[in-house]
Amino acid sequence: MAEPLPSPELETASPDLLALKARNGCLRSFEELVDVTKDRLYGYLLKMLGNPHDAEDVAQETYLKAYRHLASYNPNHRFAAWLYTIARNTAISFRRKHRRTESIDELAEVLPAKSMSHSASDGDAIWAVARQLKPKYFEVLWLRYGEDFDTPEIAQAMQTNLIYVKVLLHRARNELAKRLQKKGMI
Amino acid sequence: MIICACHRLLASLRAGPASASSHLQTCAACRDWWTRQSALERRLRRPVEPAATRVGFTQDVLRKIERTEQETVLPRRSFLPLAMLGAAASLALVLFLRPAPGPDSPPTLTASPGLLPSLEIPALANLPARVDDPLEQELQLVISDTKNALAFVADHFRTPR
């Protein structure tokens, strides 16, 4: 029997709307939600963890946790920020379990920039340099510019306050500018 | 230099260079810094090579969800048959281990309806009172034991005032 075609509403639905439907028990919406968000989430985790297998494991675990706790998702906020909070915590737990590292800051030593896929594009080149910053600096830059999160959303994802996010962004941009200048890329 | 750093930080925390416009008018270094920062932001916003999950990722997630849901439902469903099986096994064990009647064991009293004397209700009423004596004695013993037990508890466990 042919599988029924997805409704046009689902095809154009935003992650927030899909999350709302999934929260009301629609598994089809959750499937669509995974399809819509998986690549960006995987990209974020790949940058966080540096290993495709680890990134995929953590991404799957993230979606499992998200599904289990969908009832606690607040539709007044963006689904992506909520999902990335889970992903970040899952990635930190994963690192602690597998590498016995106690702090996310130690990821810098574990994850050299060479694990990233390089391309000739300017954006990728800058992110390759950004990856060499402290993980918190990289993370805040990625959430701001890579994921286009606003400051409150970054604060939610990183489980910190607005002022600290702004300070982190300021320091991260300064540090990145210095490194790019040293490399003659700015 | 320190003043510039303060202005830059404050402008970052507030609404950007507009909040430090008076300083920017007089400080060429800060104007240059803001120009470079803006250029950097524009470059950071450029799209990067997207990472792609492998084919079948979504299906794997859904399969895992299905599996975990089954694992949480399974124990509840399997409880009743398991409980019934356990009860049946216990009953079978009790019946199997019940001691067989030996030569010293009291004979099992069985009576066929024909051997029992037929007692009419008036006959029961005419029975002498001492038929009840053993029951009366037993009741007295129970009362006495209870009194002893209460006295023991009172003597040993009562908290002194």
pLDDT in tens, chain B (161 residues): 666 777 667 676 666 666 667 777 778 888 888 888 888 888 888 877 778 888 999 999 999 988 888 776 655 556 677 888 888 888 888 877 776 666 666 666 565 656 666 656 666 666 665 656 777 788 888 999 998 888 888 887 766 65
The candidate with the shortest Cα–Cα distance to A98, out of A80, A114, A111, A117, is: A111
Can you tell me whether residue B30 is helix, strand or coil? helix
Residues of B in contact with A145 (CB under 8 A): 41, 44-45
Among A31, A60, A163, whose Cβ lies nearest the Cβ of B64? A60
Measured between CB atoms, does B6 come within 8 Å of chain A? no
Residues of B in contact with A176 (CB under 8 A): 40
Among B9, B13, B43, whose Cβ lies nearest the Cβ of A126? B43
Tell me if ipTM is over 0.95: no
Cβ(A154)–Cβ(A140) under 8 Å?
Answer: yes
Helix A162-182 with B28-44: angle, nearest 10 deg: 100
Place of tokens 């919406």: A29
Size of interface A-B (CB pairs under 8 A): 95
Among B40, B47, B54, whose Cβ lies nearest the Cβ of A186? B40
- Global pTM? 0.60
- Distances, alpha carbon A14 to alpha carbons A18, A80, B100, in Å: 6, 11, 76
